[in-house]
Amino acid sequence: SLPGPEAFVPPPECPVFEPSWEEFSDPLGFIGRIRPLAEKTGICKISKAGWVHTRKKGGKQEED
């Protein structure tokens, strides 16, 4: 039988990094610096500060 919803343990929050252009001028160096933090959760997000991801859906642009 499947466990009930009370057995669900949510995963930890994913760390989000928003490096400046200067910090990301050496991407491998930046990743090496954040690696100890990212390894704690197994995943991280690296995003440019203020950047908005858009994608096309049905020929129209949409924001995520």
**Cα–Cα distance, 38 to 50 (Å, whole number):** 21
- 58-to-14, 52, 55, 61, 64 alpha-carbon distances in Å: 30, 19, 10, 8, 15
Q: 56 in the Ramachandran plot: left (φ > 0), alpha (ψ -120 to 50) or beta?
A: beta
Which of 28-37, 43-52, 53-62 is predicted most confidently? 28-37
Reported as a single tens digit per residue, the pLDDT across 8-39 is 888 888 999 999 989 989 999 999 999 999 99
- Show the tokens assigned to 15: 């760390």
Residue 63 has pLDDT above 70, yes or no: no
Residue in 48, 41, 51 with CA at minimum distance from that of residue 27: 48
pLDDT at 1: 67
